[in-house]
Amino acid sequence: MTDEPAGDLDGAAPEPPLVGVVMPARDAEEWIEASLGSLQAQTMERWVCVVVDDGSLDRTRSIVQALAATDDRVVLLRQPGRGVAAARNAGLDALPPGCRYVGFLDSDDLYLPDALAGLVAALERRPDAAAAFGLADYIDEAGRLLNPGLHPSRQRWHRQLRSGRLVLQEAEEDVTFDSLVVDDPVWPAAVALHRTEAVSRAGGFDVSFPLLEDWELHLRVARQGPYVATDQHVALYRRHSSNLTGRHHDAEFHRARVRRLAWAADEASPRERAAVATAWRLLERRQVLVLGKHVVRSVRSRRWRSARRASVGLVVAGVTSLGRRPPAASLRRTRLTRPDDLLGIPL
């Protein structure tokens, strides 16, 4: 990895940066100027952005260099293509020591103008919190809103583990470890601002995750303190052909890995291990019910192939759910218990 001459981490800003923003980028020429522009439009100006070019073959590097030449808060690093998690870790390592907070903005997403100011304020009100997060809407390739309010409603409609049951969490409640073992409303990455020290203590991103690397990190960070939920819209997530590829089974496989690692971690307390195991078991039993209903529907509609697949998955999920802890992740088991024709059915 080599530092680019453009940009200076120790540039003469009126005040030292309070927030570090890490932006991984690979072949991002179409979107990265707008993403950096949304950062330059922030009402809170005490930031530095480390862009990590992860082996781009297009004009990404030259676009960032041009911006860095006029704004010394933008810094460019280069590395061969190692993936998002490794790029974010490289950016974390390059942040100047004074950055109290760190955010992760992808090169095709946008911050809304008050994002950093609002999230910094939320964290300064809550010294016990490890991070704060807000809401995000979807936009299309041209920047037009897609289904406004849909993703924020999903972020607000979130379950947590409480007294051995899955219960609906109030929108303003903190997101804790017991929430995150169920699912992660702190998505996309741009909605969150972390205390830099909390991310460092957690060890940064696990580079073995090509997907869901942020959820896996959030669980480790949440061992240090909660994620404060705000009702502020802070980001826009761009949906386009490059990030809409069908990766259902890959995502479900890594979802199983996240829970298994959370359970098996050396630093996991007995209470945390019990929480992971309970959440996993409850969700697996819900999947058994979903598969059972799918078998009945398939038989009634004479879709015999679908019925056979779901029946096998039903048996596998049923046996698995009898376990006392999350099993090691298996792509074969994932494909059996999460068939494609059950996509989008919530547990």
pLDDT at residue 69 in the model = 98
Q: Domain residues of the chain, as ranges? A: 2-245, 250-342
Q: Phi/psi of residue 251, each to 5°? A: -65, -45
Token readout for 271 is: 């209470």
- Rounded to the nearest 5°, which phi and psi values hold at 298? -65, -40
- Predicted pLDDT at 243: 64
Contact 203, 85 (CB under 8 A): no
Query: Among 3.90.550.10, 3.40.50.970, 3.40.50.300, 3.90.1150.10, what is the CATH number of 2-245?
Result: 3.90.550.10
Q: By C-alpha distance, which of 300, 309, 315, 301 is closest to 342?
A: 309
What SS3 class is residue 121? helix
Question: Which pLDDT value is given to residue 19?
Answer: 99
Q: Are 47 and 17 in contact (CB under 8 A)?
A: yes
Confirm if 30 and 106 have CB atoms less than 8 A apart: no
Residue-level pLDDT at 1: 46
Q: Where are the alpha helices (DSSP H) in the chain?
A: 32-40, 60-70, 84-94, 115-125, 150-156, 177-180, 196-202, 213-221, 248-264, 270-300, 304-320, 331-337
Q: Which two tokens stand for residue 336?
A: 């059996």
Q: Regarding beta strands 158-162 and 74-79, do their DSSP bridges make them parallel or antiparallel, or are they unpaired? A: unpaired
pLDDT of residue 215: 98
Residue-level pLDDT, tens digit, the chain, 347 residues: 445 445 445 544 468 899 999 999 999 999 999 999 999 999 999 999 999 999 999 999 999 999 999 999 999 999 999 999 999 999 999 999 899 999 999 999 999 999 999 999 999 999 999 999 999 999 999 999 999 999 999 898 888 899 899 998 888 899 999 999 999 999 999 999 999 999 999 999 999 999 999 999 999 999 999 999 999 999 999 998 776 545 778 899 999 999 999 999 999 999 999 999 999 999 999 999 999 999 999 999 999 999 999 999 999 999 999 999 999 999 999 999 988 766 555 54
Say how many C-beta atoms besides its own lie within 10 A of residue 164's C-beta: 11
d(Cα 313, Cα 284) in Å, to the nearest integer?
12
- CA neighbor of 299 nearest in space, from 290, 283, 288, 311: 311
CA distances to 183, 247, 255, 258 from 252, in Å: 12, 9, 5, 10
How many contiguous H segments (helices) and E segments (strands) does the chain have? 12, 12
Per-residue b/e over 313-329, b at no fewer than 16 CB within 10 Å?
bbebbbebbeeeebeeb
Give the integer Cα–Cα distance in Å for 193 and 227.
Answer: 9
Predicted TM-score (pTM) of the model is 0.91
What's the gap between Cα 340 and its chain centre?
Answer: 23
Residue 303 is classified by DSSP as -
**Separation of first and last alpha carbons in the chain:** 43
